[in-house]
Amino acid sequence: MVAMRMAAGQSGRSAVRGRRLSPLDVLCVGALAAQVAWGSLSVLLIPGLIGTHPVLLEVLNASAATMVGAGGFVGVGRASFAAAVVAPLLLWVPLDTIAWWAGRRYGRAVVEFAARWRPGLSDAADRAERLLSRFGPGLLLVAPWLPIPDQITFAGLGEAGMPLWRFVLGDAIGVLLRASALVALGAALGDRAVAVTTAMSRYALVIVGVALLVALATASARRLRRRRRTAPEPAGPEPAGPEPAGPEPADPEPADPECVGSGAGGSGAA
């Protein structure tokens, strides 16, 4: 989802740098949006293909589970180790290059915009910058294993000015190292990995249905939390104003001197 929000930020603000959208901006934004859309849709292919065509699935969705499943087929002699290791390159290197291009073209602004929805991305970008200053281009070799979103790391490398050829070469080596480890793990599991992947294919419709329900429930919960955070607090009752002042007491009438004198004389006579 990060890439889609990056894309929305570009089109909504006429590119991060304040320019009018150029054809290259449209191409970059469209590639980011297509990447996210395919990442969401390709998950639905895992249950149906992982137990029958795992190497093909690596080209379509090179997740860790997919590579372990392909390794299981390698362990029982139903797939080639070289094909299972190379297949993820066809997916990940182009996708990773899109993130590099976005970082090269727009810089840190794409991360800051995406951080409006996921505040943790800004901290992840700071960690990626520290690691980049420490390891330099070698960060590409371990990027798939870091607790940092890959897109943040690759965008940071693009912002830092890494040449395209160096990025593609380093990213390819990093993907090969990760794929080799996961495929080897699947090969070591052998029949057990194949049994799990076959069961997943057998119950593909059930798994896809449950995954869709979980995704919908998660999206609904996030939307509800977002609404609660942005909803204005209800205004309390207005404080009562000061009580209206009553009528002022009338001033006492001055005493009549004649009445006072007559009263005094009467009491003396008594």
How does pLDDT run along the chain (270 residues), one tens digit per residue?
A: 344 334 434 443 444 545 577 888 888 878 878 887 888 788 888 888 888 899 999 999 888 888 998 999 999 999 999 999 999 999 999 999 998 998 888 877 766 666 666 666 667 777 777 777 677 777 788 887 877 778 788 888 888 888 999 999 999 999 999 999 999 999 998 888 788 777 666 655 566 667 667 767 877 777 777 777 776 655 555 555 555 555 555 555 555 555 444 444 444 443
150 part of a folded domain = yes
CA distance 199 to 194: 8
264 part of a folded domain = no
27 part of a folded domain = no
Radius of gyration (C-alpha) of the chain in whole angstroms: 36
CA distance 61 to 55: 10
69 part of a folded domain = yes
In three-state secondary structure terms, 213 is helix
Residues 140/174, Cβ–Cβ less than 8 Å: yes
Residues 186/74, Cβ–Cβ less than 8 Å: yes
201 part of a folded domain = yes
6 part of a folded domain = no
Task: State the pLDDT at residue 109.
Answer: 72
Between the alpha carbon of residue 93 and those of residues 151, 157, 172, the distances in Å are: 12, 14, 6
Task: State the pLDDT at residue 65.
Answer: 85
* CA quadruple 117, 119, 64, 179: dihedral sign: positive
In three-state secondary structure terms, 181 is helix
Give the structural domain span for 147. 44-104+121-226
In SS3 terms, the chain reads as: CHHHHHHHHHHHCCCCCCCCCCHHHHHHHHHHHHHHHHHHHHHHHHHHHCCCCHHHHHHHCCCHHHHHHHHHHHHCCCCCHHHHHHCCHHHHHHHHHHHHHHHHHHCCHHHHHHCCCCCHHHHHHHHHHHHHHHHHHHHHHHHHHCCCCHHHHHHHHHHCCCCHHHHHHHHHHHHHHHHHHHHHHHHHHCHHHHHHHHHHHHCHHHHHHHHHHHHHHHHHHHHHHHHHHHCCCCCCCCCCCCCCCCCCCCCCCCCCHHHHHHHHHHHHHC
Domain count, the chain: 1
